[in-house]
Amino acid sequence: MRIKAGAPKCGNYGPLARVLKAAADPIRLAILDQVRNGENSVQQIAEGVGAERSNVSRHLAVLAAAGVLTSRKDGVKVLYRLRTPCILSLFTCVCNVIEADVRESQAAVGHARNRGGK
């Protein structure tokens, strides 16, 4: 299946789904947020997201395998960073969708109250 003009130019939906699936976890989203400003060690990320190092390491491996994160060794530490920081625009987009949902739900409740109160 090919992506239509104007849509993301990934060639097909498989790679797009792989990246979205890798990001679709609360801890992984927190990890992406944690490394938004630069490199972090596994320990820094674990402390920042409030999870065990072993759990964070598994999530880092998923994000790295999907091409979302990259890493480098610094002595005994492994430092992780965003491979392409534009992934963070996903946060903004999804937050906009959620906010629109909330606004529409609030408007529907207000409309229902107004109809019921007349």
**Please, which pLDDT band fits residue 2 given cuts at 50, 70 and 90?**
low
Residue 102 CA: distances (Å) to CA of 94, 99, 105, 107: 12, 5, 5, 8
Whether residue 1 is contained in a domain is answered as no
Q: What is the CATH number of the domain that holds 22?
A: 1.10.10.10
Q: Do 91 and 117 share a domain, yes or no?
A: yes
Q: Do 79 and 96 share a domain, yes or no?
A: no
**2: which residues sit within 8 A by CB, 6+ positions away?**
11, 12
The type of residue at 63 is L
Q: Do 97 and 62 share a domain, yes or no?
A: no
Q: Do 18 and 73 share a domain, yes or no?
A: yes
Q: What is the pLDDT of residues 8-57, one digit of tens each?
A: 566 778 888 999 999 999 999 999 999 999 999 999 999 999 999 999 99
Q: What is the mean pLDDT of residues 66-78?
A: 96
Q: Range of 55's domain?
A: 9-83
Q: What is the pLDDT of residues 78-95, one digit of tens each?
A: 999 999 999 999 888 999
Domain count, the chain: 2
Other residues' Cβ atoms within 10 Å of the Cβ of residue 118: 5
Encoded tokens for 70: 């990259």
Q: Do 46 and 97 share a domain, yes or no?
A: no
Q: Do 51 and 15 share a domain, yes or no?
A: yes
pTM of the model: 0.78
| CA 55/CA 57 separation, integer angstroms | 5
Whether residue 65 is contained in a domain is answered as yes
Q: Do 22 and 78 share a domain, yes or no?
A: yes
